[in-house]
Structure 1
Amino acid sequence: MKRVKDMVAAANSTVDHAPASALMDLYGQGDVTFVDLRDPRELDREGMIPGAFHCPRGMLEFWIDPESPYAKPQFQTGNRIVFYCASGWRSALSAQVAQEMGLPNVSHIEDGFSGWKKAGGPVGDKPAKS
């Protein structure tokens, strides 16, 4: 059986990643989009990075592909994309998939939203609608 920890390690060997404390200086820059991959229940419980775009992990490939009927403009801007989840596992796999699909300039927060909060990053309520 292929183990998820091995899949995450493989993804981290091919995609840019850093702890939240190192990526906080990107927050608020107009050419950077933070993408929250967590389940809506996690957003309800914990909030999210203000201004981040919420993309449920199960929709990622469909929302990235510009030819998909579900494509989202947030993935077509050319902005740097910084993915995050709770602890950096889903975001590692998501950044790898996005990179494989041809999305340029992707990275992820290796210690996730928990690292963001621990580093003192801003936290807001979830948006009304994705």
Structure 2
Amino acid sequence: MKTEQVGDATFETWTPEEVFDACRKGEIVVIDVRTPQEYMFEHVEGALLMPMPFFKPEMLPGQTEKRIVLHCGSGVRSEKMARLAMERGLNRIAHMEGGFGAWKEKKLPYIGTDMASGAPKRVEP
């Protein structure tokens, strides 16, 4: 994990593997900032959705028990929203480097769509 101090805030960049491990241990809340369509097609299992156009840092859950890690398709939108959250007063926020594209590159499991039925299905590459 890379850490950057921005004023009084800590900005973290996590790898997909770090996010996966922390998810399995129940240590983080993953928030997807992609569009609802992107999320419905495929997403990190257990990730919550807060699309970028509707992103409100003040609506994020507290981080007393679990840390927040944002993600998007490539890491660009999640970094932008994480920096916005810091501007709005969050003193610690993280995003996933490379986004969902990097997650899939690392062959980590996710929820996809069964093209025959349109139903969600777990994908284990």
Indicate whether the TM-score tops 0.5: yes
1:94/1:22 CA distance change after superposition, 3 Å: same
Cα-to-partner distance string for 1:42-71 (whole Å, 9 max, x where unaligned):
1233x111111111112212xx32xxxxx3
Q: CA separation in 1, counterparts of 2:75 and 2:87?
A: 18
The answer to whether the 8 A contact 1:50-1:124 is kept is yes
Q: Tell me whether 1:93 sits opposite 2:80 in the alignment.
A: yes
Q: Tell me whether 1:75 sits opposite 2:61 in the alignment.
A: yes
The answer to whether the 8 A contact 2:29-2:67 is kept is yes
1:43 maps to 39
Q: CA separation in 1, counterparts of 2:15 and 2:31?
A: 15
* Structure with the higher strand share, 1 or 2: 2
Partner residue of 1:114 out of 81, 92, 101: 101
Q: Give the aligned residue type for 2:14.
A: A
Q: Which moved more, 1:112-121 or 1:84-93?
A: 112-121
Q: CA separation in 1, counterparts of 2:101 and 2:93?
A: 20
The answer to whether the 8 A contact 2:74-2:98 is kept is yes
Give SS of 1:50's match.
coil
1:31/1:18 CA distance change after superposition, 3 Å: closer
Q: Which moved more, 1:36-45 or 1:109-118?
A: 36-45
Q: CA separation in 2, counterparts of 1:13 and 1:29?
A: 26
Moved over 3 A (4+): none
Structure 1, gaps ≥5 residues long = 1-11, 66-70
How many aligned positions are there?
Answer: 106
Cα-to-partner distance string for 1:73-100 (whole Å, 9 max, x where unaligned):
x523532111000000001011111122
Structure 2, gaps ≥5 residues long = 114-125
* Structure with the higher helix share, 1 or 2: 1
* TM-score (structure 1 length as normaliser): 0.69
Supply the RMSD in Å over aligned alpha carbons.
2.5
Q: CA separation in 1, counterparts of 2:85 and 2:25?
A: 21
Cα-to-partner distance string for 1:88-127 (whole Å, 9 max, x where unaligned):
000101111112222243111110001011112221158x
* TM-score (structure 2 length as normaliser): 0.71
